[in-house]
Amino acid sequence: INLPIGMSQDSDECRAIVRTMYMRALQLDARTYLPKRLKELAQAHDFSYVSIRITSAKTRWGSCSARNTINFTWYIMKLPLHLIDFIILHELCHTVHKNHGQKFHNLLNACCSGKEAQYSKELRMFTIS
């Protein structure tokens, strides 16, 4: 990141520039990585979906529409890769079960090699922002 001559690295203006560039990098990473990874995991676990959308949502990591469009917030890229996969698998399981009932959790747990509870607990340690 190139800063204007004379701008202090400790200034609020500098922090704002760095934060903006960081957010842009996360967005670019999300648009590059998530579609590919979604396709890989869907094929590996025999799921199908209609399309993917990357949003700036701040209330949820992902969602699945009634028509099987899968949405992810680009903030997901701040997470460890195994939790990104967990969220992707969570949304893919919603293409089969549109609720959080026992059948949904059984399917997700099977997709996660029995680690659904562990990953859910770990994910709660992170916030979207």
22, two tokens: 């960081």
Q: What is the pLDDT of residue 78?
A: 95
* Percent of the chain that is helix, strand, coil (3-state, to 5): 55, 10, 35
Those residues whose C-beta lies under 8 Å from the C-beta of residue 87, and which sit 6 or more positions away, are 61, 62, 72, 76, 79, 123
User: Would you write out the chain's pLDDT as a tens digit for each of its 129 residues?
Assistant: 677 788 788 888 888 888 888 899 999 999 999 999 999 999 999 999 999 999 999 999 999 999 999 999 999 999 999 999 999 999 999 999 999 999 999 999 999 999 999 999 999 999 998
Q: What is the pTM of this model?
A: 0.90
Q: What is the pLDDT of residue 129?
A: 81
Instruction: State whether residue 72 is helix, strand or coil.
Output: strand
The whole-angstrom separation of Cα 4 and Cα 18 is 12
Q: Which residue has the tokens 């998530």?
A: 34
Q: What is the pLDDT of residue 18?
A: 86
